[in-house]
Amino acid sequence: MKFGVLLTSQPNPDEEPFPHHKTHERVTEQVLLIDQLGFDVVWIAEHHFNNQYGIMPDCYPYITYLAALAKRVRFGTGVVVLSAYNPVRAVENAAFTDVLSGGRLDLALGSGYRQYEFEGLGEDFDNRRDRQEEALDILLELFHTGRIEHKGKFYNVRIQPPHQLFPKPVQQPHPPLYMGINTDQSAAYAGRHGFGMMLTTLPTIDELKAKGEFYRRELERAPARFRKNPALGTTTATRWVYVAESDARARAESEPGLMRQLGHFAGGLHPTGKKVEADDFNYDRLRGQTILHGSPASVIAMIEELRDRAGLDSVLLHYPPYYGRERTLDMLRLFAAEVIPHFRGPERAKKKLSAAE
């Protein structure tokens, strides 16, 4: 079982007033601790134009900056909104980031779900999934061959001898590729093209299980060419996580901040595409499903259920910015000390934790 952390660079306006420059200082501090504690990967989320969720217009330069500071942990784009991005530039930037990070990039791609982001970038929102599929075909061809002759509905691209794509990534034929999965259309494409699967915060265990089974059936159709992806068959999901010495303390310390965070989605659209209702954010109903909050023993049991029932092999921790600096860092330390060793053996986790003390 692998563990990562998904960071959105979301401001806490109570401590990081406009224009929120201190937000990036806080997130960078967390990344350095995550690296020391032995987590497997840090995912950096791309979001635009909204200081109530995330301020990260481009994952690539921030990952390159972080990789020079944090020498061990892997970094992932969580996700690059490919339907609002030039696919050739996406490949070039991913390859260069992989070189500069010493081969530590994971590349996750998605179609996006916030209409105002597309409007701000001057891109069509309604055809984003079709545009993404065409862009993905370009991306895969360039990673595998370095050249392309493509005339499609949305893109016309020509890179032919003597020209080819540069730089070449350290990881061959490409960094591990994942797709953000919200629909059967994206799950089917991901499976047939050998992508790893990344799921969002709100699907229940039963919904995760169903989506994983569908994805794995489609994966059987992936040709040999796409089976070289290091992320082939990987299933990961993001969960709201908070661990404390007891269930009661975890709830007392986390519930106000989490409900404040989830209120941001109320009345709007979740990445799954469904309209979010206020009752979707009932703490007791969500606990154990999408909220993994509690004592180390309770959180371990919840993750075991995700692994055994939903077939997950990776969990991404996610949390709002409202817990405060020290409380968040302490939570990460406790998770690394008490939860991670249960899933990977105490010696490896103990070694990483000692390096962080």
- The domain that contains 271 carries what CATH number? 3.20.20.30
pLDDT at 266 over 60: no
Which CA distances in Å does 29 have to 118, 123, 335?
31, 34, 17
Tokens 């179609």 found at: 111
d(CA 194, CA 274): 26
pLDDT tens figures, 173-197? 999 999 999 888 899 999 999 999 9
| 357 pLDDT higher than 70 | no
CA–CA distance, 299 with 305 (Å, rounded to integer): 10
pLDDT at 273: 56
Residue 270 has pLDDT above 70, yes or no: no
The pLDDT value given to residue 282:
83
Task: At 349, list the tokens.
Answer: 């986790």
Integer-rounded Cα radius of gyration of the chain: 20
For the stretch 143-180, pLDDT in tens is 999 999 999 999 999 999 999 999 999 999 999 999 99
Place of tokens 């406009």: 18
- Dump pLDDT digits (tens) for 207-244: 999 999 999 999 999 999 999 999 999 999 999 999 99
Q: Give the 3-state secondary structure of residue 6.
A: strand
Give this prediction's pTM.
0.92
Confidence check: pLDDT of 350 > 60: no
CA angle 107, 109, 115 (to 5 degrees): 145
Amino acid sitting at position 238: T
Residues 343/48, Cβ–Cβ less than 8 Å: no
Check residue 182 and give its pLDDT: 85
Mean pLDDT value of segment 113-127: 93
Does residue 340 carry a pLDDT above 90?
yes
What would the two tokens of residue 48 be?
A: 């635009």
Range 86-115 average pLDDT: 96
Residues 6+ apart with CB under 8 A from 263: 281
The total number of residues shown for the chain amounts to 357
- Please state, in angstroms and as integers, the Cα–Cα distance from residue 64 to each residue in 55, 162, 193, following that order: 17, 29, 27
Instruction: Over range 294-303, report the average pLDDT.
Output: 97
Give the pair of three-digit tokens for residue 260. 């404040």
Predicted confidence at residue 349, as pLDDT, reads 45
Q: In the predicted model, is pLDDT for residue 84 greater than 70?
A: yes
Identify the residue whose tokens are 């406790």: 334
Half-sphere exposure of 316 (CA within 13 A, CB side): 27
Round the average pLDDT of the chain to a whole number and report it.
92
Contact call for residues 111 and 140 (beta carbons, < 8 A) = no
**Alpha-carbon span 353 to 357, nearest angstrom:** 7
- pLDDT on residue 274: 59
What mean pLDDT comes out for the span 263-274? 60
pLDDT at 356: 55
How far apart CA 266 and CA 263 sit, in angstroms, is 5
DSSP annotation of 79 reads: E
pLDDT for position 60: 97
8 A C-beta contact, residue 96 and residue 167: yes
Give the HSE-up count for residue 201: Cα atoms under 13 Å, Cβ half-sphere: 24
Q: For residue 230, what is the DSSP state? A: T
Q: Is the pLDDT of residue 271 over 60?
A: no
Is the pLDDT at 141 greater than 80? The verdict is yes
* CB distance 36 to 356 below 8 Å: yes
**How many Cα atoms sit within 13 Å of 255 on the Cβ side?**
14
State the total domains in the chain: 1
Q: Tell me the residue range of the domain where 105 lies.
A: 2-356
Secondary-structure breakdown of the chain: helix, strand, coil percentages, each rounded to the nearest 5 = 50, 20, 30
